[in-house]
Each structure stands twice: as C-alpha cells, then as structure tokens.
A and B are shown apart, each in its own frame.
Chain A
Amino acid sequence: MQTHIISLLVEDNPGVLTRLSGMFTMRGINISSLTVSPCEKSGLSRMTVTIKGSEAELEKVRKQLSNLIEVIKVVDLKDNEAVIRDLCLVKVHTRDAEARTEVMQLSESYGARIVDASLESVILELADEPERIERFVELMKHFGIKQLFRTGITAIKRD
C-alpha cells in the first residue's frame, strides 16, 4: 500500500466536494487527507487528495476522477517531482520549566513557531513535509499532546 497524492483542478460549484468524495466511497477507496482551496483562476478550486492503494487502484481512481464533469485536470504527483507541505498546530503540555525549555529547544530545531503559550501548555505551528511533521509530533508525544490539528497535504509540481 503506497500513498498517492492526486492534485485536482475543479470547478468551484456547490456540491463538487460531495461528488468527489462520493466517487471515492462508491469505488471503495478511503481518503487519507483532502484539502480544498481557491487557486489562481477564479471559478476554479484546487484539491489535493491523498489515498493509500496500489498503482492499479490509483489508475482506476485517476480515470474515474477524469470522468467527473466538474473535474478539469487530474495530476498524480510523485514525491520527487513535487513540493509537498502539511501544516500542524499542536498543543503540548508544559508542566514545569524543564519541559517548557525542552519543548522550546526542540521546536527551534524543527523550525516550529510558538504561536501561543500558557503556564500549562504551548501551541506550536509547523509547516513542513509530512514526514518531518510526523517526527516532530512523535517527539511532542513525549511531553503529552493535548490537541493536534493537521490541515492535510497540499502539493505543487516542480517545473
């Protein structure tokens, strides 16, 4: 089971998200992450979908997506030809000064920003490749994670 990143250019119509997610459900494919946002062209949106599956399953999904009327472009992005980013906001326990110092040091080494702090916890923000975020989150688990939010993957193809 490989992770595949599919980048879609779609018409910005009501219901387009339902139609897309419905297609995945219909074909028995589970979506790992999904981001939707406006793009450089008005009236169009860009979606980044990640799925886990074989090459054959990816091929089926790609064709079914192309069949949807509101889907204008389907690109499956390979890791090496795309810039891939995920953003996480994580609230970490800092019960004592020692923990706080350690969290701050680790955050600095990962390039995470401290966006809020209280006596009991800090909120950290890290935008990076998904693998680095995972490593960072693993480290933070050591201190105790109160809440974790991730936007899901967005990706852009290199020229």
Chain B
Amino acid sequence: MGETAKKLSGAEIVVEELKNERVEVAFGIPGGALLDLYEVLYQEEEIKHILMRHEQCAAHAADGYARASGRTGVCIATSGPGATNLVTGLATANIDSSPVVALTGQVPTSAIGTNAFQESSTFTITMPITKHNFLVTRTEDLPQVIHNAFYIANTGRKGVVLIDLPKDVQGNRVEVELHPRTTSPGYRPNIKPNQVQTKRAAEVLLNAERPLILAGGGVISAGATQPLRELAELLGAGVVTTLMGKGAIPEGHPLSLGMAGMHGHVYANRALNECDALLALGTRFSDRLTGWQLDQFAPDATVIHVDVDAAEINKNLPVDIPIVGDVKLALHDILKWLDKAIKVDKEGKRESPWLRRIKEMHSACEECIKDVWRAGSSISDVVIKELSNILDGNAIVTTEVGQCQMFAAHYYITKEPRTFISSGGLGTMGFGFPAAIGAKVAAPDRQVVDIAGDGSFLMTCQDLATCVENDIPVVVCIFDNRYLGMVRQWQELFFDKRYSHTNLGVTPDFVKLGEAFGCYAERVEKPEELKSALKNAFESGKPAVLDIIVGREDKVLPMIPPGGGITGMIGTERCKRI
C-alpha cells in the first residue's frame, strides 16, 4: 500500500486518485448527485474540466481524446438522465476498444431502488456496453476501485470502465490509504504471445508467395506501426487495413493498399481474395470488412490471427494459427524468428511477382481515383480528395457516420496512427464533432478537422458552444446534401429509389448557425473554394464551420452490396483500370 492514511471525503479521494492516474483533463456536466465531486474540482488546478453541453458529447470527447493520444479519456455525468445520455458515447468507445473512464453521480445509497429523483440504474444499464463497471457503496473502496478502473480501461483489450458514485459515498469522510498498487484477481490480460505460434507464423509468412498483412485498430492501440512496416518491407507483403486500422501504415507507402471491406478499395479486397498467407493483426473480422460471403475472404490463405482478446479468435472467421497477445510483442517475435532462424532473401522478396502485382494494382487504383476526380460527376469524391491534398496527412481527422465517413475512409490519405478517428463498430452519427473536441484538447498543436454530414452534425452541434467558450478551434467540414445520404444511397440502390424519410428538407443555414455560436463560418459552393475556406478557418483561430455544398445524390462507390462478398463489389465501372 502507498501513502500514510488521511481523512478525506469520497470526492477528495476521487480527485486525488485521478491525479495519481495522471488525469489532466475531464469532460463533463455537473448535477445534483455530483455536487460534492464538483465542489472539489472547483479548486482543483491539476485537472482541467471542460464543461460540455450534452453528456453524449462528454463521452465522445473523452473517446476522441483517448484515440488521439492513447491516454485514458475521462468523462463525468450526473445520475439519471446524465448517465443515460452518456450511454451512446460509452458504447461507441467500448466497441472500438478505446480507453475511457466514466464517472457518474448516483442517488445516495439509502435511496437506491426507490425511484428517487434522477435515479436510474446506471450500473445495470451500462453493464453490457462497458468492459467493466463499478457501483461504489463504501467510501473506503474508492482508491482501489479507481485504480482498478484505470488499469482495466487501458490494458489488454482496451475499453470503457464506468464508476457509479452515490452522493453519500462522495460526501462521507474516511481515513484511507491512497494509491493502492494491487488489482483485481480475475483480471490478467494475456499479452505475451506463445513462442511456438509466432515461430509457426514466421515460417508460414516466409514460405508464402503472396503474403498480405491486414492491420486493424489493435495495431494502433498497441503502438505497433513501426514493426508492422518493418515486417511488411522484409516480406514484401502488401498491407490492407480496416477502418479502425487506417494510419497503421502511411497510405502513400508503396506496400499500402488502403482500406479493405464494404467501402474499401477494389484492389485491397482483391488482394485479400488472392493472398496465400494472411497475417491479421488486432482486427475482429467484422462483417463490414469480410462481407457476407466468407468463402471469398482469403480462401487460399493460411490465416494467422493476432489479437489480445482470446475471445476474438475463431469468433467470426476460422483461423489456422491463432496468436493471443499484444500485437507489438507478436510482431517483434515474428521479426526475431525471421531474423534469427532464417535468412530472408530481401532482394528476392522485393522483386516477387506478388509485389509487382501489388504495385500494379496500387498505381491502377491511383489512376482510377484521378479519373473520378477529373470527371467531377460526384462532388463529394472531389471535395474529399481536395481536403486530403490540402491537409496532406498533417491534421487529425475525425468523421461522422455515413457517406461522409466512407468517402473519408476511401480517399483521405492517412499518414500517421491516431490521425484518423471514426466510429467503426457502433457507427454513431454525431460522434465526429465531439471526438474532434477531445482530439484537439489532446493535441492542441495539431489541426483538427471533423468530416461531417449535415445529418450527423445536427445531432451534436450544440457543443459548438463548448468550443467557443473553451477556445477549442476545431474545423467542421459539413458535406451538405440535405439527405441522410448513406441510407438514401441504399434506398436508391436496393429499394427502388423510394426515399423514405431520408430527405432532410429544410436544413439550417449552417453559416449563420456557426456564426450564432461565435464560430468562423463560410459556405463552400465549389470544391475549388475549399482551399481558401480552410485557410480562412485555420487563420481565424476560432472554431469553424464550413458548409460544403456537395451533390445531393452523390454515392459512395464502389461497395459490397448487402449479402455480397469481397470480390462482388458494385459500382466498379469507375475502377476499370484494375
């Protein structure tokens, strides 16, 4: 145990333990059940509290902070509606394995179960959408609970931990020892890969003619981008990513094939289909990656799956060589085996027919994208490519969900890990903007841009007030088509153009809306105006809203249609060079 005993209130213990966990910032909204905690935060200088305008945004901001920095994000909400408003944000973070700790107020322990004012059973509501949660009933337990929460959130497969804090638990004064060092007996994340398995993996990869690496979010989470690149170069293996894996390898790298899956690149999917050894790293083979015809997914390949969560192995796709453990450690081991036991013919690998095919497909795809861009028939494609060129991989980009997200995933060239932040698993509209707030707080020196749709942005835009009040200059680029575009696209393609309730009709004047909040705002009528508008936005030093008018019926293509597999993409006529 740590320091000598002191008599502290529960709220003081919470704040002391947060500081001990090196928390520098928390996103939250106070409330009746949190008065004690906020009383302590009022005089606290080491923890910056950012007052949000909706609890969902507090959770997304903490999530964005975590994804941009790798550090645990912290959000705070009061009991009842405060906690239920957090739910979407917590589910979003948890399914994407983002480390977040949520603190919620709760009615006093004596009132629990009485349907008291602002009472909801946060503990049971959040159980299925968190990695773990606690309902603290004794003030004495706080140091251990908070230590466990941070340890659980940011180790193993990362995730969300919620701590429910009844009012009396915050108010009681007790003598406790702070800063415990032990953790839960049942939590032992298995991070060390099995040596026999990594050796087998190394042998398979070495002997493969067409090796491919599939990088998921776990690569970024584990900080494994460097060994990934090293291995790809050593083997002459192509690298495709999932949506969450964007940034695992610079997308301009000759071995990068970009994102695969439902809205991925044709050639990334084709490589998945053609490879004879697949090294899948930190991915859960979601249906948005594999499509629905699993027989088209790496049918000839020996599949090696590395994941820190044993429950992901064989869950969605049967694999040949499972490796449970940290992706970075596994890559180091594989590199070690390749280096030690076997001499790799580097020159030979560099000139393999497979590598030539990858390069051919890569440049063919580049050309096709240029075709689409030149044709200008879909304005969204042009805008996103323009945005990608202007930002040049230097900004942190967050996305909302839907067409804007898939345009970004497809065309936006990501160069570094933690610079492409998107709600992958839950697909939460309204995520991108508050996540951008969190990312900007985590990385104040970087430009942060939210690639938004008009539908998504309206779900959380009230937090422009937070940006202005706290001087958080993020730039929101709204792809304005006055439709819920992705659903409309599906209705067009698969429901006989019956646009049931996807037309947003009259939408706000986003320039005036931005200005009303005190933001810089500008309308972009044509893609070529984007550059100056972005420049103006950044130079204003203020939070900014750019209302970019795109084609009302632009479609994100190519795509795997519902029920299809990775070789059955539609809309491929624009990819004629491959």
Contact = CB atoms under 8 A, between A and B. Distances in A.
Contact of A69 (B123, B135, B152, B315): B152
Contact of B186 (A15, A22, A64, A68): A68
B309 A15 contact: no
Given A18-B124, A63-B310, A72 B186 contact: yes
A138 B184 CA distance: 46
A15 B241 CA distance: 38
B504 interface: no
A14 interface: yes
Q: Which of A10, A15, A60 has the most CB of B within 10 A?
A: A15
B128 A26 contact: yes
A129 interface: no
A7 to B, nearest CB: 15
A15 B135 contact: yes
B187 interface: yes
Interface string B298-340: 0000000000011101110000000000000000000000000
A60 B318 CA distance: 12
A120 interface: no
Nearest to A44: B185
B135 A18 contact: no
Contacts of A71: 186
B135 A22 contact: no
Contacts of B124: 15, 18
Interface string A1-37: 0000000001100110011001000100000000000
A134 interface: no
Nearest to B124: A18
Contacts of B310: 63, 66-67
A31 B313 CA distance: 23
A60 B186 contact: no
Interface string A54-87: 0010011001101111111000000000000000
A71 B313 CA distance: 20
B127 interface: yes
Contacts of B152: 69
A40 B152 CA distance: 27
Interface of A is mostly: helix
Interface residues of A, number: 20
A38 B184 CA distance: 19
Contacts of A15: 123-124, 127, 135
Most buried by B among A11, A18, A63, A66: A63
Which of B123, B124, B135, B185 counts the most A-chain CB atoms under 10 A from its CB? Answer: B185
Nearest to B313: A63
A69 B128 contact: no
Nearest to A72: B186
Contact of B185 (A22, A66, A72): A72
A69 B156 CA distance: 12
A84 to B, nearest CB: 25
Contacts of B315: 60
Interface in B132-161: 132, 135, 137, 148, 152
A78 to B, nearest CB: 21
A72 B187 CA distance: 8
Contacts of B185: 11, 72
A22 B133 CA distance: 13
A147 to B, nearest CB: 31
Contact of B309 (A11, A18, A67): A67
Nearest to A67: B311
B311 A22 contact: no
A70 B152 CA distance: 12
A26 B129 CA distance: 10
B189 to A, nearest CB: 10
Contacts of A69: 131-132, 148, 152, 184, 186-187
B188 to A, nearest CB: 10
Interface in B78-135: 123-124, 127-128, 131-132, 135
A70 B184 contact: yes
Nearest to A71: B186
B311 A60 contact: yes
Given A15-B123, A69-B132, A63 B311 contact: yes
Contacts of A66: 310-311
A53 to B, nearest CB: 15
A63 B137 CA distance: 30
Contacts of B313: 63
Nearest to B183: A69
Contact of B127 (A14, A19, A60, A63): A19
Contacts of B148: 69
A9 to B, nearest CB: 8
Contacts of B137: 14
A45 to B, nearest CB: 12
A14 B127 CA distance: 13
Contacts of B311: 60, 63-64, 66-67
10 closest A-B pairs (Cβ-Cβ)? Answer: A63-B311, A72-B186, A69-B132, A69-B187, A63-B310, A64-B311, A71-B186, A69-B184, A22-B127, A26-B128
Given A10-B186, A69-B184, A70-B184, 9 more contacts: A11-B185, A14-B135, A14-B137, A15-B123, A18-B127, A22-B127, A67-B310, A68-B186, A69-B152
13 contacts: A10-B186, A11-B184, A11-B185, A14-B137, A22-B128, A26-B128, A64-B311, A66-B311, A68-B132, A69-B132, A69-B148, A69-B152, A72-B186
